[in-house]
Structure 1
Amino acid sequence: MPLKVSIEEKLDGTFIVRPEGSIDANTHTILGAEVDSIVAKSPKLLIFDMKDVSYVSSAGVSVVLVAEKGLKAKGGRVFMVHLQPQIKKVFEIVQALPAQQIFTSVQEMDKYLKEIQRKVKEGEIP
């Protein structure tokens, strides 16, 4: 299945990347090129909405890892939402991202981010 990638830029500078299909050795460069252009803009938040991803290989995992490393160096974060069970298992096995960065929905991620901001504001975490 060919890979399609749609990108949404929110008003706050958050980017949502929505790949559709398989992310493998033949298609990862499509996603990689899109993600590289986003990372170059230094957003604070990059969200991979993986709802329509049916398969991911190590090449696909590497795209996410490169994005995470690039944004972390610039003070940004990478999150993943709507992972199919088989995709979530791949990321768990390779321990590509901390569990706190993988969410079942955007609403769950927003709740987590709100709680983190509250804790910082109240001095519970630096």
Structure 2
Amino acid sequence: MMTLSLHHEFPATDRVVVYVGGHLDAMSFGEFDKAMLVLLPRLDEGGTVVVDLAGLEYVSSAGLRSLARIRKSMRARNGHTLLLNPQPQVRKVFAIVKAVPVNEVFTSTQELDAYLDRMQRQVIEGNSDA
């Protein structure tokens, strides 16, 4: 089981770059959320969180909720959230979730995660028809 890796840097008082690697899922989102609770208050009002996803290999609905919480938190502080360098399978998940009102289509989180899991596996295995 791949775990989550996190590190960050503050290139300026109004910007933090968070590097996320591994899996952001039901097992790891709590660790991610705790780290964000510490980092975000250190940013100036109106600041920007850059979440570098180059190392992120897998995201579940729990991980998507965590990313949505960052955006909501930053909007409340007149700030911005930028997601950078997602791998193809993670980009696919973002596309699915953006295109489909997820709560209207899937009967449960388990069903959604099974679908997202299948889509990401297909992209990784080179089946681009996913």
* TM-score, length basis structure 2: 0.69
Q: Is the 8 A contact 1:7 1:17 kept in 2?
A: yes
Deviation at 1:13, TM superposition (A): 2.5
Distance across 1 between alignment mates of 2:15 and 2:43 = 10
Shift of 1:12: 4.1
Sequence identity percentage = 27
Q: Counterparts of 1:78 and 1:68 in 2: how far apart (Å)?
A: 6
Separation in 2, partners of 1:40, 1:19: 19
Distance in 2 separating the partners of 1:6 and 1:20: 9
2:78 alignment partner in structure 1:
75
- Are 1:58 and 2:61 counterparts? yes
CA contact (8 A) 2:53 2:87 kept: yes
CA–CA distance in 1 between the matches of 2:66 and 2:76?
16
Which runs of structure 1 show a deviation greater than 3 angstroms over 4 or more consecutive aligned residues?
A: none
Does structure 1 conserve the Cα–Cα contact (< 8 Å) formed by 2:4 and 2:23?
yes
Q: CA deviation at 1:19?
A: 1.1
In structure 1, C-alpha distance between the alignment counterparts of 2:40 and 2:65, rounded to whole Å? 14
TM-score (norm 1): 0.71
The residue that corresponds to 2:6 in the other structure is: 5
- Give 1:10-89 correspondences, 5 Å limit: 10-43=11-44, 44-89=47-92
Gaps of 5+ in 2: 100-130
Q: Deviations over 1:7-50 (max 9, x none)?
A: 11112431011011011100111111111222223441001100
Stretches of structure 1 that go unaligned for 5 or more consecutive residues are: 97-126
Q: CA deviation at 1:71?
A: 0.6
TM-align CA RMSD: 1.5
